[in-house]
Amino acid sequence: MKIVRWDEDAYHFAAEKMQKIGLHASDGFFLDLYCLEPGQEQKAHAHDGSDKVYLVVKGQGRFRIGDEEATLSAGESVMAATCDMHGITNDSGSQLVVLTLMAPPPAPRAK
């Protein structure tokens, strides 16, 4: 059995942009950790035919879902349904880690 860590041992940050750490994936989904330094973002975008869930693991940031924005902290989560615009901005002064699910994965997978 392949045991995959999803705690701080798996986090990876880089000065140039948000990092995506792939945890698990299949034809039906992918599950990543997104690691954002202060000031980094995932620009708002949408997927036709896939839902996405953001679960905040560490820190806090500003999340856009559709036309709404809210600040989420560790222990909170939101879903963007198919075609909903969604994005993240780490407007805090600390590192932000977000467990991110997409189901089904986009084809081809854009990473």
The contact set with a copy of itself (CB under 8 A) reads 1-9, 23-24, 26, 28-29, 31, 50-51, 53, 55, 63, 65-66, 68-70, 72, 74-79, 81, 99, 101, 103-104
Nearest approach, Cβ of 63 to a copy of itself (angstroms)? 8
Nearest approach, Cβ of 38 to a copy of itself (angstroms)? 22
Identify the sign of the CA torsion 66, 43, 107, 75: negative
32 with 97: CB under 8 angstroms? no
Nearer to a copy of itself, 23 or 37 (CB): 23
Nearest approach, Cβ of 16 to a copy of itself (angstroms)? 27
Q: 90 in helix, strand or coil? A: coil
In terms of Cβ atoms closer than 10 Å to its own Cβ (0-12, 13-18, 19+), residue 44 is middle
